[in-house]
Amino acid sequence: MKFFVDTADVSEIRELNDTGLLDGVTTNPSLIMKSGRDIVEVTKEICDIVDGPVSAEVTATEYKEMLTQAAFLAKIADNICIKLPLTMDGLKACKALTSDGHKTNVTLCFSANQALLAAKAGATFISPFLGRLDDMGIDGMELISEIRTIYDNYDFDTEILAASIRTVNHVKDAALIGSDVATVPPAILKALVKHPLTDKGLDAFLADWAKTGQNIG
Ligand code: E4P
Protein backbone atom coordinates (compact mmCIF):
# COMPACT_ATOMS: atom_id res chain seq x y z
CA MET A 1 0.00 0.00 0.00
CA LYS A 2 1.25 3.48 -0.84
CA PHE A 3 1.42 6.16 1.85
CA PHE A 4 0.49 9.74 1.09
CA VAL A 5 0.59 12.38 3.80
CA ASP A 6 -2.49 14.57 4.21
CA THR A 7 -1.08 18.00 5.04
CA ALA A 8 0.30 21.25 3.59
CA ASP A 9 2.83 21.56 6.41
CA VAL A 10 6.15 21.63 4.58
CA SER A 11 8.34 20.77 7.58
CA GLU A 12 6.23 17.67 8.33
CA ILE A 13 6.37 16.65 4.66
CA ARG A 14 10.16 17.10 4.55
CA GLU A 15 10.64 15.03 7.72
CA LEU A 16 8.42 12.18 6.47
CA ASN A 17 9.88 12.25 2.97
CA ASP A 18 13.36 11.80 4.47
CA THR A 19 12.25 8.41 5.87
CA GLY A 20 11.81 7.12 2.31
CA LEU A 21 8.31 5.90 3.22
CA LEU A 22 6.32 8.64 1.50
CA ASP A 23 4.71 8.09 -1.92
CA GLY A 24 2.78 11.34 -2.31
CA VAL A 25 0.89 14.20 -0.67
CA THR A 26 -2.73 15.32 -0.56
CA THR A 27 -3.82 18.87 0.21
CA ASN A 28 -7.23 20.50 0.26
CA PRO A 29 -8.48 24.09 0.69
CA SER A 30 -8.79 23.64 4.47
CA LEU A 31 -5.21 22.35 4.76
CA ILE A 32 -3.92 25.28 2.65
CA MET A 33 -5.85 27.66 4.95
CA LYS A 34 -4.29 25.93 7.98
CA SER A 35 -0.78 26.34 6.51
CA GLY A 36 -1.37 30.10 6.29
CA ARG A 37 0.55 30.16 2.99
CA ASP A 38 -0.08 31.05 -0.64
CA ILE A 39 -1.36 27.99 -2.54
CA VAL A 40 1.10 28.27 -5.44
CA GLU A 41 4.09 28.92 -3.23
CA VAL A 42 3.40 26.10 -0.76
CA THR A 43 2.33 23.59 -3.43
CA LYS A 44 5.49 24.28 -5.47
CA GLU A 45 7.62 23.72 -2.36
CA ILE A 46 5.84 20.42 -1.64
CA CYS A 47 6.28 19.25 -5.25
CA ASP A 48 10.00 20.00 -5.03
CA ILE A 49 10.33 17.82 -1.91
CA VAL A 50 8.23 14.79 -2.94
CA ASP A 51 8.66 12.80 -6.16
CA GLY A 52 5.17 11.24 -6.15
CA PRO A 53 1.79 12.83 -6.91
CA VAL A 54 0.82 15.97 -4.99
CA SER A 55 -2.94 16.58 -5.01
CA ALA A 56 -3.98 20.22 -5.39
CA GLU A 57 -7.72 20.89 -5.28
CA VAL A 58 -9.78 23.14 -7.54
CA THR A 59 -12.22 25.44 -5.76
CA ALA A 60 -14.44 26.13 -8.79
CA THR A 61 -17.75 24.32 -8.89
CA GLU A 62 -18.47 24.64 -12.61
CA TYR A 63 -16.87 22.57 -15.36
CA LYS A 64 -15.24 25.32 -17.43
CA GLU A 65 -13.83 27.15 -14.44
CA MET A 66 -12.60 23.84 -13.02
CA LEU A 67 -10.61 23.28 -16.21
CA THR A 68 -9.19 26.82 -16.05
CA GLN A 69 -8.10 26.29 -12.44
CA ALA A 70 -6.75 22.82 -13.26
CA ALA A 71 -4.58 24.27 -16.07
CA PHE A 72 -3.26 26.87 -13.61
CA LEU A 73 -2.51 24.27 -10.90
CA ALA A 74 -0.94 21.82 -13.38
CA LYS A 75 1.65 24.46 -14.30
CA ILE A 76 3.01 24.45 -10.74
CA ALA A 77 4.94 21.20 -11.26
CA ASP A 78 4.97 17.96 -13.26
CA ASN A 79 3.83 15.87 -10.28
CA ILE A 80 0.61 17.81 -9.63
CA CYS A 81 -2.51 15.65 -9.39
CA ILE A 82 -5.69 17.66 -9.91
CA LYS A 83 -8.20 17.12 -7.13
CA LEU A 84 -11.86 17.51 -8.09
CA PRO A 85 -15.06 17.25 -6.04
CA LEU A 86 -17.44 14.36 -6.66
CA THR A 87 -20.09 16.34 -8.52
CA MET A 88 -21.31 15.97 -12.10
CA ASP A 89 -19.14 18.94 -13.12
CA GLY A 90 -16.20 17.43 -11.23
CA LEU A 91 -16.62 14.10 -13.04
CA LYS A 92 -16.90 15.82 -16.40
CA ALA A 93 -13.71 17.77 -15.65
CA CYS A 94 -12.06 14.54 -14.48
CA LYS A 95 -12.84 12.85 -17.80
CA ALA A 96 -11.47 15.79 -19.78
CA LEU A 97 -8.33 16.10 -17.67
CA THR A 98 -7.47 12.38 -17.65
CA SER A 99 -8.02 12.24 -21.42
CA ASP A 100 -5.53 15.09 -21.59
CA GLY A 101 -2.94 13.06 -19.65
CA HIS A 102 -3.34 14.67 -16.22
CA LYS A 103 -3.44 12.73 -12.97
CA THR A 104 -6.75 13.25 -11.13
CA ASN A 105 -8.02 12.63 -7.62
CA VAL A 106 -11.81 12.66 -7.19
CA THR A 107 -12.49 13.71 -3.63
CA LEU A 108 -15.38 13.83 -1.15
CA CYS A 109 -16.55 10.31 -2.03
CA PHE A 110 -19.12 8.89 0.38
CA SER A 111 -20.80 6.10 -1.63
CA ALA A 112 -19.87 3.13 -3.81
CA ASN A 113 -21.95 4.50 -6.69
CA GLN A 114 -20.00 7.75 -6.57
CA ALA A 115 -16.79 5.72 -6.74
CA LEU A 116 -18.14 3.77 -9.72
CA LEU A 117 -18.79 7.03 -11.57
CA ALA A 118 -15.31 8.34 -10.74
CA ALA A 119 -13.75 5.19 -12.20
CA LYS A 120 -15.85 5.55 -15.34
CA ALA A 121 -14.61 9.16 -15.57
CA GLY A 122 -11.06 7.78 -15.60
CA ALA A 123 -9.97 9.10 -12.21
CA THR A 124 -6.42 8.19 -11.23
CA PHE A 125 -7.51 8.12 -7.56
CA ILE A 126 -10.84 7.98 -5.75
CA SER A 127 -10.86 9.39 -2.21
CA PRO A 128 -13.49 7.81 0.07
CA PHE A 129 -13.62 9.76 3.36
CA LEU A 130 -13.59 7.19 6.17
CA GLY A 131 -13.49 9.41 9.23
CA ARG A 132 -16.34 11.67 8.17
CA LEU A 133 -18.58 8.61 7.64
CA ASP A 134 -17.54 7.12 10.98
CA ASP A 135 -18.39 10.48 12.61
CA MET A 136 -21.99 9.96 11.39
CA GLY A 137 -22.16 6.40 12.72
CA ILE A 138 -21.71 4.90 9.23
CA ASP A 139 -18.96 2.30 8.74
CA GLY A 140 -16.42 4.01 6.45
CA MET A 141 -14.44 0.79 6.06
CA GLU A 142 -17.46 -0.95 4.56
CA LEU A 143 -17.37 1.68 1.80
CA ILE A 144 -13.72 0.88 1.01
CA SER A 145 -14.64 -2.79 0.85
CA GLU A 146 -17.54 -2.16 -1.56
CA ILE A 147 -15.37 -0.02 -3.82
CA ARG A 148 -12.62 -2.69 -3.84
CA THR A 149 -15.16 -5.30 -4.99
CA ILE A 150 -16.63 -3.07 -7.70
CA TYR A 151 -13.24 -2.00 -9.06
CA ASP A 152 -12.03 -5.62 -9.09
CA ASN A 153 -15.25 -6.81 -10.80
CA TYR A 154 -14.59 -4.52 -13.73
CA ASP A 155 -10.78 -4.22 -13.66
CA PHE A 156 -10.92 -0.46 -13.19
CA ASP A 157 -7.45 1.12 -12.96
CA THR A 158 -8.60 3.86 -10.57
CA GLU A 159 -6.70 3.53 -7.30
CA ILE A 160 -8.55 3.60 -3.99
CA LEU A 161 -7.07 6.33 -1.81
CA ALA A 162 -8.42 5.91 1.72
CA ALA A 163 -8.88 9.44 3.08
CA SER A 164 -10.12 11.23 6.19
CA ILE A 165 -8.09 8.78 8.26
CA ARG A 166 -8.30 9.37 12.00
CA THR A 167 -6.72 6.30 13.64
CA VAL A 168 -3.92 3.80 13.18
CA ASN A 169 -6.58 1.10 12.88
CA HIS A 170 -8.05 2.91 9.87
CA VAL A 171 -4.68 2.41 8.14
CA LYS A 172 -4.49 -1.29 9.08
CA ASP A 173 -8.09 -2.03 8.08
CA ALA A 174 -7.76 -0.17 4.78
CA ALA A 175 -4.62 -2.21 4.04
CA LEU A 176 -6.38 -5.48 4.91
CA ILE A 177 -9.21 -4.65 2.50
CA GLY A 178 -6.74 -3.82 -0.25
CA SER A 179 -6.91 -0.04 -0.50
CA ASP A 180 -4.17 1.00 -2.93
CA VAL A 181 -3.21 4.14 -1.01
CA ALA A 182 -3.90 5.71 2.38
CA THR A 183 -3.52 9.44 2.87
CA VAL A 184 -2.65 9.88 6.50
CA PRO A 185 -2.20 12.90 8.80
CA PRO A 186 1.47 13.24 9.90
CA ALA A 187 0.80 12.36 13.56
CA ILE A 188 -0.91 9.09 12.61
CA LEU A 189 1.81 8.17 10.11
CA LYS A 190 4.38 8.62 12.88
CA ALA A 191 2.23 6.64 15.35
CA LEU A 192 2.24 3.58 13.05
CA VAL A 193 5.79 2.71 14.11
CA LYS A 194 5.03 2.80 17.82
CA HIS A 195 4.63 -0.28 20.01
CA PRO A 196 5.37 -0.36 23.75
CA LEU A 197 6.90 -3.84 23.48
CA THR A 198 9.33 -2.56 20.84
CA ASP A 199 10.45 0.25 23.18
CA LYS A 200 10.66 -2.11 26.16
CA GLY A 201 12.56 -4.75 24.19
CA LEU A 202 15.02 -2.21 22.80
CA ASP A 203 15.69 -0.77 26.28
CA ALA A 204 16.46 -4.28 27.57
CA PHE A 205 18.77 -5.09 24.64
CA LEU A 206 20.68 -1.82 25.06
CA ALA A 207 21.01 -2.31 28.81
CA ASP A 208 22.40 -5.84 28.34
CA TRP A 209 24.69 -4.67 25.55
CA ALA A 210 26.16 -1.96 27.78
CA LYS A 211 27.03 -4.68 30.33
CA THR A 212 29.17 -6.52 27.73
CA GLY A 213 31.47 -3.50 27.36
CA GLN A 214 31.75 -4.27 23.62
CA ASN A 215 31.51 -1.95 20.60
CA ILE A 216 30.37 -2.80 17.08
CA GLY A 217 32.68 -1.54 14.35
C1 E4P B 1 -8.23 13.85 1.52
O2 E4P B 1 -7.65 14.02 0.47
C3 E4P B 1 -8.64 14.92 2.44
O4 E4P B 1 -7.69 15.96 2.32
C5 E4P B 1 -8.65 14.51 3.88
O6 E4P B 1 -8.28 13.16 4.06
C7 E4P B 1 -9.86 14.95 4.62
O8 E4P B 1 -9.75 14.53 5.95
P9 E4P B 1 -10.64 15.15 7.14
O10 E4P B 1 -11.98 14.52 7.11
O11 E4P B 1 -9.88 14.77 8.39
O12 E4P B 1 -10.68 16.64 6.91
pLDDT, tens digit, 9 for 90 and up, residues 19-34: 999 999 999 999 999 9
Predicted local confidence at residue 110, as pLDDT: 98
CB 164 less than 6 A from any atom of ligand 1: yes
pLDDT tens figures, 72-102: 999 999 999 999 999 999 999 999 999 999 9
Give me Rg for the CA atoms of the chain.
19
Q: How many residues does the chain have?
A: 217
CB 29 less than 6 A from any atom of ligand 1: no
Predicted local confidence at residue 169, as pLDDT: 97
Mean pLDDT of 54-81: 98
Predicted local confidence at residue 192, as pLDDT: 98
Q: Atom 9 in ligand 1: which residue has the minimum CA distance?
A: 164
Q: Atom 12 in ligand 1: which residue has the minimum CA distance?
A: 164
> How far is residue 100's CA from residue 60's CA, in Å, rounded to a whole number?
19
Question: 130: CA distance to ligand 1 center in Å?
Answer: 9
- The CB-side HSE value for 151 (13 A sphere, CA atoms) comes to 27
CA distance from start to end of the chain: 36
> How far is residue 124's CA from residue 126's CA, in Å, rounded to a whole number?
7
Which domains are assigned to the chain? 2-212 (3.20.20.70)
Could you tell me the pLDDT band of residue 162, with boundaries at 50, 70 and 90? very high
For the chain, give the percent of residues with pLDDT over 90: 100
Mean pLDDT of 120-136: 97
**Pick from 150, 189, 144, 139: which is nearest to 2 by CA?**
189
Query: Looking only at Cα atoms, what is the longest distance across the chain?
Result: 71
Mean pLDDT of 183-187: 98
> How far is residue 49's CA from residue 64's CA, in Å, rounded to a whole number?
31
Pair 97, 67: CB distance under 8 Å: yes
Predicted local confidence at residue 65, as pLDDT: 98
Record the pTM. Answer: 0.96
> How far is residue 28's CA from residue 212's CA, in Å, rounded to a whole number?
53
In the chain, count H helices and then E strands.
11, 8
